[in-house]
Amino acid sequence: MSSVVSRETSTPTPPSPSLVGYSSRSQEEWPRPARRRVITIANQKGGVGKTTTAVNLAAALSMHNQRVLVIDLDPQGNASTALSIEHRGDVPSVYQVLIEGMPLAEIVKPVPDMPNLYCAPATINLAGAEIELVSMVARESRLLKAINEFKEIELDYIFIDCPPSLGLLTVNAMVAAAEVLIPIQCEYYALEGLSQLLQNVELVRAHLNPKLSVSTALLTMYDGRTRLAAQVAEDVRAHFGDTVLRTVIPRSVRVSEAPSYGQSVITYDPGSSGAMAYADAAREIAFRGASVTG
């Protein structure tokens, strides 16, 4: 039986998710996209909130009856951990999909206690995939092929969590998506290196995926007590314009704690500033992209 409809029982049971204190908009109806949206979350700089953003946007959307898949493309497997999905080295993962051609349906698992949320886990084996992909046929589009062949669940969103690099794993993510979401940390050198990421997006669009665009930028780790954070936010908005979400994600201890319990902050502490900010960011994405086709 496909693991899409089975659930791992070996994972330690995290505290039960709670919706108490969830955003005041929690009962609001969010629009479904006209077609499935595939969004790659990328930034070659580490520690800017890629995984945190992928997991929490996905959780917030799923709580508003959107059917969401998170594809963990980072060998560290942090998104898998945060969603309480087993990802030991011997667990079938995205590695088998990319390198061995295993159907995506055989690795996708439902996230515990989150009926509309699914995860395709990553294992440490992915660390070698960059080298193994080099000599493979259609090396840049193997993830796209797997996603196109995945018919088991009618999804509204797919979020692809990329590693902090611009190698073949990230290229696969960009070829498979129509949208790129860039998390940008509100700290010094925030824009440093982004030109290379944007150049890669342009190269992929020119040669491999003409549908690709940077649809969203999200300011993360904002500390309202510092002038620096405000200046970085201003610079990012000047550079990216309306691409930047109005919502800003604050620095939050709860956001950092949640993964250790195998949860998103949306379920771990729904009333926290981080949870409410990610819920608002997800709402923006849903309403902005209601007519997006991808």
Q: Tell me whether residue 294 is in a domain.
A: no
Query: What is the rounded distance in angstroms from the CA atom of residue 283 to the CA atom of residue 294?
Result: 18
Q: Between 59 and 17, whose confidence is greater?
A: 59
Residue 13 domain-assigned? no
> 86: domain range?
3-7+29-288
Asked if residue 278 has pLDDT above 50, the reply is: yes
In a domain, 16, yes or no: no
User: Does 23 reside within a domain?
Assistant: no
In a domain, 126, yes or no: yes
User: How many Å apart are CA 117 and CA 60, to the nearest integer?
Assistant: 10
Q: How many folded domains does the chain comprise?
A: 1
Residue 178 in this model has a pLDDT that exceeds 90: yes
* Res 279 pLDDT > 80: yes
CATH number at residue 158: 3.40.50.300
**Does 59 reside within a domain?**
yes
Residues 230-265: pLDDT tens digits?
998 999 999 899 999 999 999 989 998 998 898 999
Please report the pLDDT score of residue 27 as a whole number. Answer: 67
Please name which of 69, 68, 76 lies closest in space to residue 51, comparing C-alpha atoms: 76
pLDDT of residue 7 exceeding 60, the answer is: no
Instruction: Select from 46, 69, 75, 48 the least CA-distant residue to 57.
Output: 69
Q: What is the mean pLDDT of residues 80-95?
A: 92
pTM for the full predicted model:
0.89
Residue 73 CA neighbour count, 13 Å, CB half: 35
| Model confidence at 49: pLDDT above 60 | yes
Rounded distance, CA 104 to CA 98, Å? 9
CA–CA distance, 143 with 209 (Å, rounded to integer): 13
Residue 293 lies in a domain: no
Which structure tokens are listed for 135?
Answer: 């000599």
Q: How confident is the model at residue 8, as a pLDDT? A: 36
Q: What is the tens place of the pLDDT at every residue in 193-227?
A: 788 899 999 999 999 999 999 999 999 999 888 89
Q: What is the pLDDT of residue 102?
A: 97
